[in-house]
Copies of this chain bind each other. A is one copy, B any other.
């Protein structure tokens, strides 16, 4: 298509302003606009470039060589560098924010996340969300919505599935415009838009070779045998989060203004008022990175996570630190002799070191904040995150 556009004359002075026709497109949904069974196809998509994948891994100092070193990834049997599941999670969640949660008051929890296959250089992901459930409390109070989200590659394969609970307020009386997004499919829409969620979805790791890589690529003390249930692992370094979080929220495509619009944040009332809050996906990623050289350098796959809660917000200037606890270490005979499955609890704190957090709070650090009241325990103000995550980890190589 080739054409010569006419010159562009100045038009503004002669064009009347129609203040009677001001439009303010709104994104996200109020409580009433979530109907169980609805399926939303999120716009745009996200192409995973190898440089972006490397950049993400380094931004959060993920220490597994399969995210940092193309030769190591290939030695493990992957076709090339692998996008870290953490990046896949951050991107897929962000793709859905414009529809699902740009009006949300809070992200309440992550459940049943499963990473089903590697995302490789050049892959393009799109995301879809299904409304599972909606709890109204009435009286103008916020309700709770449960949604399932899928990340799907350009071949139509599901690479990630997870559920999350979101707190959403009802539509304010001063009615806003309708959501600008793709028309909801309605309660019976599942028929029109297939939603390939599978509770028993298989994980496909291709030609994985757990023993293919040089052991000097990763730590000597992070094999399956190094983890026993109950163990607490204090990760040495913390990380000060800077204003970078604003730019990173944009980078992963999360459109909620709470994370990047100070005028919006200052205009809020309540706990979220003030400085922009760090997008929770980024907090999770930094904590996971802080833990990575102690727990996942010899992991070949992140199976998934559940019971994930952001228990306090973080803002620019906060220094976060991480502690892991071993919840289970199970052989995985179906996967051969080289691998085991380890489940960790990952806990994040801010404003003090991980060592100080363990010393100060002891076993209470590992009690879910939501369970504290029932157990007659106080919440821990310095605790920002808790989750259970399950990894596929190499067994220690036998000395030949």
Contact surface of A with B, Cβ cutoff 8 Å: 1-5, 7-8, 10-13, 15-19, 21-27, 41, 43-47, 49-52, 54-55, 58-61, 63, 65, 68-72, 81, 98, 112, 114, 122, 124, 154, 180-183, 199-208, 216-222, 228-240, 242-244, 246-247, 250-253, 255, 257, 260-264, 267, 276, 293-294, 297, 303-307, 317, 319, 321, 325, 327-328, 334-335, 341, 343, 345, 351-353, 355, 358, 362-363, 366-368, 371, 386, 388, 390
Contacts and interface: CB of A to CB of B under 8 A. Distances in A.
Given A4-B202, A17-B325, A307-B12, A22 B71 contact: no
A209 to B, nearest CB: 9
Given A5-B303, A24-B355, A208-B1, A19 B246 contact: no
Q: Which 8 A-B pairs have the closest CB atoms?
A: A51-B51, A18-B230, A242-B243, A45-B69, A17-B363, A11-B327, A24-B234, A238-B261
B263 A15 contact: no
Contacts of A208: 1
A1 B336 CA distance: 10
B13 A368 contact: yes
A11 B330 CA distance: 13
Given A13-B368, A71-B124, A260-B239, A3 B334 contact: yes
A8 B22 CA distance: 50
Contact of A255 (B41, B69, B237, B276): B237
Contacts of A352: 263
Copies in the complex: 3
Given A239-B261, A321-B263, A3 B180 contact: no
A12 B388 contact: yes
Contact of A261 (B21, B114, B247, B319): B319
Contacts of A367: 13
Nearest to A375: B13
B261 A8 contact: no
B8 A390 contact: yes
A260 B112 CA distance: 33
B180 A345 contact: no
Given A52-B54, A242-B247, A45 B25 contact: no
A15 B230 contact: yes
B244 A246 contact: yes
B250 A47 contact: no
Contacts of A228: 21
A236 B26 contact: yes
B247 A5 contact: no
A253 B58 contact: yes
Given A10-B306, A204-B2, A255-B237, A18 B69 contact: no
